[in-house]
Amino acid sequence: MLFLPDEARSLPPPPLVNKGSVWLGFAGWTAALLDNGFNHRPVIRAGVHRQILFTTVGWFVGYFLTKHTEYIHAKRDRELFEYVKQHPEDFKATEKKRIGELLEDFHPVR
Amino acid sequence: MAAPLRLVKGLRLAAGTPGLVLTRSAFVARKPNYDHPNWFGVGLAFGTTAALWVLLFKHHNEDVMEYERRQKERQHKCTGCS
């Protein structure tokens, strides 16, 4: 575990198929294919055990990285909303202007 | 002196084994022979793969259970004992 504090467990865990896992799994697979290429082996047909292992390691690391990322983002959002709540005078919603007020007066030149 | 040394080196290179080397070397480079697969390595790779997937599934399920438990606790705290 990436030493996440206990409160991180209150967040919904990322699904097993998540962005980080898919991307790092793909990166691991590509690394295995590159290894095949550099050692003059047939690129996709050789070393299937290696391809599966590298993909799995990427998937595994991706899951924990995604979890860590989500925690960091959630923490930042919580702090942001807390600040907004505590300083309402700085975040007043502006009155919506009507289009007629925004445009300049029209003086036709004919 | 040089000729017999060179002969010995030539013989050693041809055999592909270090044996008693007259020059020290950390390793001898060999061409990989794919007719004899490294079954131990293959077994280790598959074993590690299986172990990693098992660990991942277990960890994920624990996480989901813990999350749901905390959600329930929060519900219970908010609504009180009804």
Rounded to whole angstroms, how far apart are CA atoms B19 and A72?
Answer: 58
- List B residues 44-63 in contact with A (Cβ-Cβ < 8 A): 45-46, 48-49, 52-53, 55-57, 59-60, 63
Contact A49 B55 (CB under 8 A): no
Residue ranges for chain A with pLDDT beneath 50? none
Which pTM was predicted?
0.74
Cβ–Cβ contact B70 with A under 8 A:
yes
Spatial CA neighbour of A59 closest among A100, A14, A102: A14
Q: DSSP letter string over A25-61? A: HHHHHHHHHHHHHHTTS-TTTS-HHHHHHHHHHHHHH
Q: What is the nearest CA distance from A35 to chain B, expressed in angstroms?
A: 14
Measured at the alpha carbon of residue B62, what is the angle toward residues B60 and B63, in degrees to the nearest 5?
Answer: 65
Q: At what angle do helices A19-38 and A48-86 cross, to 10 degrees?
A: 150
**pLDDT at res. A2:** 59
Partners of residue A13 in chain B, C-beta under 8 Å: 60, 63-64, 67
Measured at the alpha carbon of residue A53, what is the angle toward residues B44 and A34, in degrees to the nearest 5?
Answer: 120
**pLDDT at res. A39:** 92
Q: Which two tokens stand for residue A87?
A: 């300083």
How does pLDDT run along chain B (82 residues), one tens digit per residue? 556 556 655 555 555 555 666 777 778 888 888 888 889 999 999 999 999 999 999 999 999 999 999 999 988 887 776 5
Which amino acid appears at position A44 of this protein? Answer: I
Rounded to whole angstroms, how far apart are CA atoms B42 and B50?
Answer: 12
ipTM: 0.78
Rounded to whole angstroms, how far apart are CA atoms A39 and A46?
Answer: 11
Partners of residue A57 in chain B, C-beta under 8 Å: 52
What is the DSSP secondary structure assignment for residue A9, as one 8-state letter? Answer: G
Through-space distance between the first and last CA atoms of chain A, rounded to whole angstroms: 75
**pLDDT at res. B3:** 60
Contact B67 A49 (CB under 8 A): no
